[in-house]
A and B are shown apart, each in its own frame.
Chain A
Amino acid sequence: MDMLITILVILLKVTIIYGGVIGLAALTTLAERKVSAWIQYRHGPNRVGPWGILQPLADGVKFIFKEELIPDGANRWMFYLAPTLSAMPAMMGIAVIPFAAESPFYGDPAGTPLAIAHLDISVLYILAFSGLSIYGVILGGWASNSKFSLLGALRGSAQMVSYELSMLLAILAIVAMAGTLDLAKIAEQQSTIGQWYIWRQPLAFLLFLIATFAETNRHPFDFAECEPELVGGFHTEYSSMRFALFFLGEYCAIIVMCSMTVTFFLGGFSVPFWVDAPWFVQAPVFLAKICAFLFLFIWVRWTLPRFRFDQLMGLGWKTFLPLALANLFVTGALVALEVY
């Protein structure tokens, strides 16, 4: 009986959190179009439902009814597998994100944070899965049997290798200061605004933020897609729901990255000016912080032009890596000397 209840509670958590995140991803596509429209003196989608709120639904229905094309000479299995491989790691990351300090669910022991799974190495887990997400891009590009797709995939993987490194080093500085790999504990350490890591690690924040743009293939680093040069990059040959799955994966990855940024640097679920807030206040505040970062992602996309590819590599290896290493070195020295 206990076993059954445990399983039911886990299923309930999975349903609520994944449903919420996928809904948020759908709304982000709408926000993307709305914000881009506002920036360009346009209205954006406003025909489907009030204020265009049902547009993602209409898009989904449209995608389902589209014909699916597979290019001649494509590797069928890899071609089918790639969108799933692109969406899956991003969604796996969501499982460990803590939404509040205390879980209200029956069966969770006291002190367990509100997350689908509470791991004490959640930082490691989330980074491992976000590193996997590039496989979808590479496989999709390679299996398409198209030069544009292949070029997009190559660029995407090169970029991922370059930026993942500085991203990890930036986070290592936080981990060194926090002394834990548990996202919930890191968030709990920043219960007041003054304790937020953004004040203590501004350089790491900047490096991490920019690296997340590269990690999620967003402007100004969207070299895997690169519409003007590579048609559509790795997803040139995709159509129908498989194409949509790539985008679902991309937006889920953005949400995961935003929630990581918030957890590492902006206090995670901690509510400003209210240290012991209950879970039903913490979770919406966390969501609001994520939404602010989602807005930043969209805002940057419609402001900055794309980098040149060699500039991107130069920035990654010649600027970010030394800066991240120096930051880690200084932080490590300060932690060792017990200044912090």
Chain B
Amino acid sequence: MVIVKRKELSLSERLYLPEILRGLSMTFRVMFKKPITRQYPEEPLPTNEVTRGQPRLAVNEDDTIRCVSCGLCEAACPAYAITIDGHETDRFIEREPERFDIDMLRCILCGFCEEACPKDAIFMSDELELADFNRAALVYDIDQLKRPIAQLRPRLDYVYKVNERW
């Protein structure tokens, strides 16, 4: 049991006015402080390599895609967001995806695809914004997913660093 002891009010407290003035001076000081609101579209959220945004496909410097359409990310995806059809090429690496769709409305940004990928071809980028007027436009195809490897480098380095532990 807790006994709350009522504090005896002093005369100045019972007169209200000094306390009201104290409160007013407090709010007046706050008025000149910097607002903590972020003006979102103009000031986007700061991202870094740890940010797990939407998955993107890495493209090498020589414009070849890293993905070999092995289907491991498709299998790992808990939300069934990835669809891959592969085909063969005459390059040394014989396979590449013909179709690589990620349904961004299904994607839960879990990063399993990134972990499953044996070829370091898919990474969680720092891209977070997703909006459109129809659902079909949010099923991204391979051209919308391709990003040059330079852009994904910080994430790649971070993933390597983390994986060194195993």
**B-contacting residues of A (Cβ < 8 Å)?**
35, 37-43, 206, 299-300, 302-304
Contacts and interface: CB of A to CB of B under 8 A. Distances in A.
B39 A303 contact: no
A43 B35 contact: yes
A39 B30 contact: yes
B28 A41 contact: no
A42 B35 CA distance: 5
A299 B24 contact: yes
B5 interface: no
Contacts of B36: 41-42
Q: Which of A39, A41, A303 has the most CB of B within 10 A?
A: A303
Given A300-B24, A303-B23, A303-B24, A38 B37 contact: no
A35 B27 CA distance: 10
Q: Which of B17, B27, B28, B32 has the most CB of A within 10 A?
A: B27
Interface residues of B, number: 16
B35 A41 contact: yes
B50 interface: no
A37 B35 contact: yes
Contact of A304 (B23, B31, B39): B23
The 9 closest A-B pairs by CB, nearest first: A38-B31, A303-B27, A39-B27, A41-B36, A303-B23, A43-B35, A42-B37, A43-B37, A41-B35
Contacts of B17: 206
Contact of A39 (B20, B31, B34, B39): B31
B33 interface: yes
A42 to B, nearest CB: 5
Given A299-B27, A299-B28, A302-B27, A38 B35 contact: yes
Nearest to B19: A304
Contacts of A303: 20, 23-24, 26-27
A41 B37 contact: yes
Interface string B115-158: 00000000000000000000000000000000000000000000
B50 to A, nearest CB: 27
Contacts of A206: 17
A38 B24 contact: no
Nearest to B30: A39
B108 to A, nearest CB: 32
